[in-house]
Amino acid sequence: MVRLGFIIGLLAIIGGLLSGLAAHRVYDQELAIDRIALSRAIDIHASLVQDRLTERELLGRVASGLFRTPSVLRADMLEPLRSAIYAFKTDFVSAGWVLRLRPDEIAEAERVLRNAGFPNAAIRNYQGPLTTPEDMTSPLDVLMDVEPRIDSTTEQLGRSLTDHPQLGPTLARALRERRPVVSDPFELRHRNGAIGLVLAAPVQQAGRETAIGFVTFSYELAPLMLANDDNALFSVALKDPRAADRELVADDRGAVSMRAARADTPPAVVRTERFGSRDWILAYYPKTSSVTRAQNSAALTAAIGIVLTMLICGLFGYISYSNLRLRREIEVRIGFERRLTAVIDELNHRVKNILAVIQSIVTRTLRHGSDVDVGRELLIGRIHAMSNVVSLLTDSQWQGVKLKGLLDSRAVPHAARIAVNGPDIMVSARAAQSLALLFFELASHADSAPQASQPPNVVAQWTVTGSGDDALFHFRWEEFNSTAATRREDSEFGVILLDRVVPEALGGQAKRYFTDVSYVYEITAPLATVVDQGERERTGRIAAPVKPRP
């Protein structure tokens, strides 16, 4: 079992190490895969955004290049361009024609707007009425046409964008640099406050040094940023390098809002894109933490590895334990068969010995010239004594019998007259056969007392002295009220049994004699030849105290 536990423990350690190694490997791979996937997704997104921005800037350049008519003071300048600008499908919010009006052109511009049917044809500043033309010293950038023409856009016609906080500087820069320029992000009025940008492309007419006006396109930021993809691995924010402490973000509905830049959580990747002669920064924030995901995957892998290790260890332990139990059962079965074979061999040997003893008993008991009735009685008693000891040995599987059992009334005549005193030791099978015949022989000759007024009183006692290999067994048989005249004379077989057979079988010495009041038989032998050594080793003691028979 210790070796099996060691093997299972070793398997558990190896399984735990392999699970940890697999978890570490999965952690590294998941982290690398997430980072690669995020990087590829960001690269694709940034490329798409740049393509969209380039398309819109190209639309502005194309639209501004289509103005070739010498007369630009009109309210339908975008009419010839409608099919062209819609063909680009650049999802602009509105397109506008902004004319640079000199002070002497204001009255004509109002007449043109009024003839076009617009309700408010007055040329005005962005935030209020226009000052008198006599006070003007520079041209005004006035919105003269718009597409699409809806209520929220046509109400802006006639307004000067020069004083607009975002569009005024944008138009001035486009005029100065002679290329499309984009404005700062601001709320588009005609789109319910959505934050967007306006791209202004200057219109250069042949024969003029300066631009005569601008073609403008307004866009919402969310479509430009491609920020409304719910399945994206990241969220994107737009930053203006001139305002690094702020960033524009879009929610799930595409609504863009401005927030302070997140100093505690910097973006995973930043990309710089060019649009409208300005650099814009796209900041990418992962929606899920790659480290957390890799840790979760590693933990799951480790858990699966540990569970598999436990299952393998449990299965191995069960199979090993079953094999071990089967091996033990086989060993027990083999041992039992060997023991059974040994017992059968021993039984055959003992049966032969018993048959030899019985043959000797019959021969000695029924010798020529002996009394037939007496011989028959002795023969039956001796054979009964042998039968009794064989029964006792059979019950104990020939491992020995208690000494007290040999004095049982079934085998010993007149056992009620015998007082037993001594430890109830376990005697060996060989000693039991000799002692059974001895007790019968002593008891059968003590049953006749023709001159005694009372039956004989017999005391059988034994003691053990010494210890270890020097321990001795002492047995004493004393028949009170027995004399040489009253006691039945021992038969020839009895004399041989008392004086030679039993002492030789026990390896000791015996003597018998008469005292003034009793007949005594004593035998002294080494304890090792009397007791059952197997029982002695199992119990660690020689005998248990026995209560004297009443």
Give the model confidence (pLDDT) of 400-450 as tens digits.
788 888 877 566 777 777 888 898 888 888 888 888 888 888 887 775 544
Among 225, 255, 289, the domain-final residue is: 225
pLDDT recorded at residue 442? 82
Q: Which two tokens stand for residue 337?
A: 């068969």
pTM for the structure as a whole: 0.55
67-71 — which CB contacts under 8 Å span 24+ positions? 67/203, 67/205, 67/212, 67/213, 67/215, 68/205, 68/206, 70/205
Phi, psi for 165 (deg, rounded to 5): -65, -30
Contact 283, 235 (CB under 8 A): no
Domain-located, residue 92: yes
Interhelix angle 372-395/290-365, rounded to 10 degrees, is 170
Query: Is beta strand 186-188 parallel, antiparallel or unpaired with respect to 543-544?
Result: unpaired
Domain end (from 175, 210, 225): 225
CATH number (domain holding residue 163): 3.30.450.350
Q: What is the domain range of residue 402? A: 366-544
Asked, for residue 11, whether it belongs to a domain, the answer is no
Domain presence at residue 181: yes
Total domains in the chain come to 2
Q: Could you give the 3-state DSSP secondary structure of residue 453?
A: coil
Of 199-203, 310-314, 404-408, least confident by mean pLDDT is: 404-408
416's tokens: 């009620």
Q: Which pLDDT score is estimated for 372?
A: 66
For residue 311, being part of any structural domain is answered with no
Q: How far apart are CA 380 and CA 382, in angstroms?
A: 6
Within a domain: residue 24? no
> Is the pLDDT at 62 greater than 50, yes or no?
yes
pLDDT value at residue 526: 92
> Residue 421: inside a domain, yes or no?
yes
For residue 540, tell me if it sits in a domain: yes
Indicate the Cα dihedral angle 53, 57, 58, 59, nearest 10°: 100
Looking at 200, 225, 250, the residue that finishes a domain is 225
CATH number, domain at 476? 3.30.565.10
pLDDT of residue 181: 94
Residue 534, CA atoms < 13 Å, CB-side half-sphere:
8
H or E stretch covering 527? helix 527-530
CA 83, 87, 90, 94: dihedral to nearest 10 degrees?
10
- Domain assignment present for residue 387? The answer is yes
Determine the number of helices (DSSP H) and then strands (DSSP E) in the chain. Answer: 13, 19
Burial of 234 (0-12, 13-18, 19+ CB in 10 A): buried
* 300 or 539, greater pLDDT: 300
Nearest to 112 by CA among 139, 76, 142: 76
Instruction: Please say if the pLDDT value at position 36 is more than 70.
Output: yes
